[in-house]
Amino acid sequence: MNENLSITQPFSGAPVALRARGLRHRFGQTEALRGIDLDVLAGEVLAVMGPSGSGKSTLLHMLAGVLCPDAGTVEYGGKVISDLGEVERSKLRLHEFGFVFQFGQLLPDLSAVDNVSIPLMLSGISRREALRRAREELGRLGLEDHTSKLPGQLSGGQAQRVAVARALATQPRILFADEPTGALDSLSAEQTMQALISVVRQAGASLVIITHDPRTAAYADREVIVRDGSISSGNPVQVTQ
């Protein structure tokens, strides 16, 4: 980490929800991450910015336990994620983490409410209760009149809000959003971000947004910039007095 970086941040003193130290990772001869340190604080919205190929999406996959680093650690709940087996990491992603992707990745042959209910049923909740909670989550995002529609019958912004509802259905402690507005027009992007921030605040969850768009990053409490696999500016780690 650059020792000259500012460490003042609006969530100073908040507990650390996720801690990364010394993350390094290669894809063949390409060094995607070069020793990144980063804290995700409880209840904060953190934007990770950077140009294409900077390593920001690789960083997200490391933080979420999708990929294991070649060196360094990611700690969550007092455990190093890469020390967990694949089954344990999958359970962690299902129960503790939520994901929103650029193109939503909704199942095209299922209705909005069925898409949202899937992670709930995978976590062991009955279909009836899962559908009830899915409708409730969709209602929080202003989609109560669209629960029975297929993804192809929704606008881009509506479909992305369904993806947000699905990600939040299991009440995750940390939500990861990878370019959540990248496929949307300006108005849909604004509506989606407003809805996303609102429900995340209500839930008291942390939100990590990977984006190259300054307008999306403006919704965050804090931002860091990744270039060439390193954090080049921002406030990457919590500092206690």
pTM: 0.87
**Angle at CA 178, nearest 5°, toward 1 and 192?**
125
pLDDT at 7: 30
Q: What distances in angstroms separate CA 200 from CA 6, 214, 215, 233, one per listed residue? A: 26, 20, 18, 25
Helix (H, G, I), strand (E, B) or coil at 26: strand
pLDDT at 12: 58
- Return phi, psi of residue 165, to 5°: -60, -40
Residues of the chain with pLDDT under 70: 1-12, 104, 238-241
pLDDT at 2: 33
- Return phi, psi of residue 18, to 5°: -145, 130
Q: What distances in angstroms separate CA 157 from CA 112, 153, 206, 229, one per listed residue? A: 13, 12, 22, 31
- The answer to whether 82 and 68 have CB atoms below 8 angstroms apart is yes
pLDDT at 58: 93
In the chain, the DSSP E strands lie at 16-27, 30-41, 45-49, 71-76, 79-80, 97-100, 174-178, 206-211, 222-227, 230-234
Residue 32 to residue 56: CA distance in whole angstroms: 9
pLDDT at 102: 77
By DSSP bridging, strand 71-76 and strand 230-234 are unpaired
pLDDT at 11: 55
